[in-house]
Amino acid sequence: MAVQTPCPFCAIQCGLTIDLSASAARPIPNDPIGAGHICRKGRVSQELLDHPLRVKAPLHRINGQWQAESWDTALDQATEELKSIQQRYGSNSIYVYGSGALTNEAAYLTGKLARLGIGTQEIDYNGRFCMASAARAYVQQFGLDRPTTVIDDINFSDVLLIAGSNLADAHPMILPKIQRARKRGAKIIVVDPRKTPMSRVADWHLAIRPGTDSYLAWALLSTVIEEDLINQQFISEWTENFTQVEEMSLSYRPELVAPLIDIDAETIRTVARLFARGPRSMFLHGRGIEQYHNGRQTVSSFLNLVIATGQVGRIGTGAIMLTGQANGQGGREMGQKLDQLPGGRSIEDPHDRAHVAALWGVEPEKLPHKGNYSASEVFDAITDGSIRAMIVIGANPAISAPNTARVRHALSQLETLIVLDPLHTETAQSAHWIFPSGGFGVSEGTITNIEARVIPVRSFEVPSEHAKPDWWVISQLGQRLSHSDQFQYSSVNEIFNEIRWATRGAAADYFGMSRQAIEAGEKFYWPCPLPGTHGTQRLYSQKFSRPRGRAQFLVDPPRAPLDTVSSQHPWHLITGRTWSHYNSGIQTQGIEALNKHSTQFMNIHPLTAQHLNICDNGPVRITNHRGQLEAIAHFDSSLRKDTIFVSMHGADANPNHLIASDLLSEVKMPEFKHTTVSIVPISPQIVLEEDGHGILSYHD
């Protein structure tokens, strides 16, 4: 029987029709963004069900061997281990590591399990690595952690400024809208050090020097101020703090900034004029400007441009943060962040605490306070003994977190590591328990997509009969820990209903939504406070969600990236995605149609390669003061000559060996996008291999 459910990959969340007797997934006609089309990853998503690393039963690692257990035994024993750790070291020694891959219901229960079931303050999630910079900037400047409008507004835009996003590969179903916009005359500007499939659609490609986007944003602002292209009426009616921006912009005139960012002043001025004049201009951005130590500040400086020119609140205008993970949007408002309760509530706000405590049947004092360790910092806390046990739900930090040697070492120090994942990941290799939980075909509930629209997720028959939905596994853990009456759910819909109450009156308000209506295909967007309404697609047409209804300019001086080029490390290394693989690569490496592209490559300009005696397809060693990795050189003349590119997709050539973990930004975002390195060719290696019987032989 055919089932309709969203794609397991990116945050667009295209609807798929899954019929297990057919060879591929089909699109759903009239689906809001894809409009009856899906990309190649969506089409082959069914292959995830036959993934060779699929976990078939709860697994326990004893003396290095994996042993299958029944669910009852596994849940009983694993919770006994947690209780023992709680008794010996206290509840705050247990860490919960959540994810933007989970349904809203699973994400909500992940927070509830930590704060109520375990009673730990220590929780964070992989979305820290994804949306932390953008989320903070939007909340501070507009009031809500959400794009200001829906994707379809692209259809009405005259100018699209796209920075640090290769959405042609990462959000493929947005691309046709941009292509159509261009055909009808809209101007497309792409800022990316690389020529990407996205930049090929652009009228202007600004191949910026890596890590210098905050200077570009200020130079654009400086131009619109100097040339009087700002919207003075909008600024005085709807914003605050502009005077300081005006003053500071004088220091960043395009002529001063140009040599630093490697874009000529006239191009900067042209782009600034286009954006300001619109008439309808939109700013879209991805991780390329956000995953830096000053990522929040860079996003803010671009949002300053958006507000100064009044390009927000009207159809076809606004700012769109291109959320990454399937439920990156819902995952970040369900209470998985170390400082946040459901609805985007603050864990330190007395009213927010009282609201959630009442719903959970405890006194507000019983709720833990803000946690100490973000998703990256936790690995140091494990090594220093502050954290003794961890539950990882839907993430693969052994690959995706910065400084992988540190992460692997930390994982091996845990007394108990419980991983909830459909797949036997690199992280799960260090686990004591693996619970086959959630994932495509098994998950059920809702997700909230890139435009804050809530979509039903449906399960369908899967080959692994022992797999369980996350909500079931998490509530079983909760029942065995404490406040067991708060973890008695007979269906996932009960949890959605609890989310409605938990978020009532909060920023991300789901209270007005009806589960039945969502199931029937009606579209709901948060904030949706009133039953009988469908929430808000386009925000800020009347006022901003801040005090006095005003947007705020933030004045952050631009800053260079943390790692600078030197004679020892003369090359920029930047990281990102390719169309066929997904994040840590674990899911797509098991899908034959997607695994055709090796994750072992580093892309390099042929002239740079020649200078370094590196040949096409030759092996290289890439080094910085944190570590090294080996990769296969791939000639690519679309790169800047001073920059190489390594994908983030996997164990083969993982840039996270070289990425800093100790130099986090104010929002605890690692500088994932960039470091500086030296590169040397290595001759084809002679490898000594043991054949399993103690006999050594040589391979080349």
Ligand X SMILES: Nc1nc2c(c(=O)[nH]1)N[C@H]1C(S)=C(S)[C@@H](COP(=O)(O)OP(=O)(O)OC[C@H]3O[C@@H](n4cnc5c(=O)[nH]c(N)nc54)[C@H](O)[C@@H]3O)O[C@H]1N2
Q: Report the residue from 288, 331, 368, 558 that binds ligand X according to the rule CB under 6 A.
A: 288
* Torsion sign over Cα 661, 664, 668, 673: negative
Triad 444, 176, 160: Cα angle to 5°: 105
* Complex with ligand SF4: residue 42 or 422, whichever CB lies closer: 42
**33 to 62, contacts with ligand SF4 by CB under 6 A?**
34, 38-39, 41-42
Query: Interface with ligand X by CB under 6 A: which range of 193-201, 243-251, 360-368, 536-544?
Result: 193-201
Interface with ligand X, residue 299, by CB under 6 A? no
Q: Please compute, for residue 626, the number of CA atoms within 13 A of its CA located in the half-sphere on the CB side.
A: 19
How many CB atoms lie under 10 A from the CB of residue 484?
12
**584 to 623, contacts with ligand X by CB under 6 A?**
584, 586-587
Helix 213-226 and helix 295-308: axis angle, to 10°?
20
Interface with ligand SF4, residue 167, by CB under 6 A? no
Are 79 and 621 in contact by the 8 Å Cβ rule? The answer is no
Q: What six digits make up the tokens of 384?
A: 């220093």
Q: What minimum distance in Å lies between the beta carbon of 379 and Mo ion?
A: 19
Q: Report the residue from 117, 119, 324, 330 that binds Mo ion according to the rule CB under 5 A.
A: 324
- Which residue shows structure tokens 């920075």? 163
Residues 6+ apart with CB under 8 A from 420: 391, 392, 393, 394, 435, 437, 438, 470, 473, 474
CA nearest 6: which of 445, 467, 357, 365?
445
Residue environment code for 641-662, b if the CB has 16+ CB neighbours within 10 A, otherwise e: ebbbbbbbbbbbbbbbbbbbbe
* Complex with ligand SF4: residue 154 or 633, whichever CB lies closer: 154
- Which residue shows structure tokens 């930047």? 574
3-state secondary structure of 48: helix
Interface with ligand X, residue 655, by CB under 6 A? yes
* Complex with ligand SF4: residue 13 or 446, whichever CB lies closer: 13
Are 586 and 394 in contact by the 8 Å Cβ rule? The answer is no
Beta pairing partners, 680: 621
3-state secondary structure of 446: strand
The entry of ligand X, ligand SF4, Mo ion, none near residue 173 (CB within 5 to 8 angstroms by kind) is: ligand SF4
Interface with ligand SF4, residue 13, by CB under 6 A? yes
The entry of Mo ion, ligand X, ligand SF4, none near residue 574 (CB within 5 to 8 angstroms by kind) is: ligand X
Which secondary-structure segment (H or E) carries 630? strand 627-635
CA distance linking residue 363 with residue 171, whole number of Å: 44
* Complex with Mo ion: residue 130 or 399, whichever CB lies closer: 130
CA distance linking residue 433 with residue 133, whole number of Å: 33
Query: Interface with ligand X by CB under 6 A: which range of 126-134, 257-265, 350-358, 596-604?
Result: 126-134
Interface with ligand SF4, residue 450, by CB under 6 A? no
Interface with ligand SF4, residue 658, by CB under 6 A? no
Q: What six digits make up the tokens of 151?
A: 């994707």
Query: Interface with Mo ion by CB under 5 A: which range of 316-324, 588-596, 600-608, 692-700?
Result: 316-324
**171 to 200, contacts with ligand SF4 by CB under 6 A?**
172-173
CA nearest 525: which of 534, 516, 515?
534
CA distance linking residue 108 with residue 98, whole number of Å: 10
Closest CB to Mo ion: residue number: 324
Q: What minimum distance in Å lies between the beta carbon of 90 and ligand SF4?
A: 42
DSSP code of residue 468: B
Q: Report the residue from 188, 378, 492, 659 that binds ligand X according to the rule CB under 6 A.
A: 659
Query: Interface with Mo ion by CB under 5 A: which range of 34-42, 122-130, 387-395, 649-657?
Result: 122-130
- Which residue shows structure tokens 């297990």? 20
CA distance linking residue 676 with residue 560, whole number of Å: 13
The entry of ligand X, Mo ion, ligand SF4, none near residue 13 (CB within 5 to 8 angstroms by kind) is: ligand SF4
Interface with ligand X, residue 496, by CB under 6 A? no
Beta pairing partners, 602: 633, 646
Interface with ligand SF4, residue 151, by CB under 6 A? no
Query: Interface with Mo ion by CB under 5 A: which range of 68-76, 203-211, 317-325, 543-551?
Result: 317-325
Interface with ligand SF4, residue 604, by CB under 6 A? no
Query: Interface with ligand X by CB under 6 A: which range of 145-153, 288-296, 309-317, 680-688?
Result: 288-296
* Complex with ligand X: residue 285 or 388, whichever CB lies closer: 285
Give contact residues for ligand SF4 (rule: CB under 6 A): 7, 9-10, 12-14, 34, 38-39, 41-42, 172-173
Give contact residues for Mo ion (rule: CB under 5 A): 130, 324
Give contact residues for ligand X (rule: CB under 6 A): 10, 99, 101-102, 126, 129-130, 163-167, 169-170, 191-194, 196, 208, 210-211, 213, 286-289, 291, 324-325, 393-397, 400, 420-423, 425, 437-439, 443, 470, 574-577, 579, 581-584, 586-587, 648, 655-656, 659, 672-674
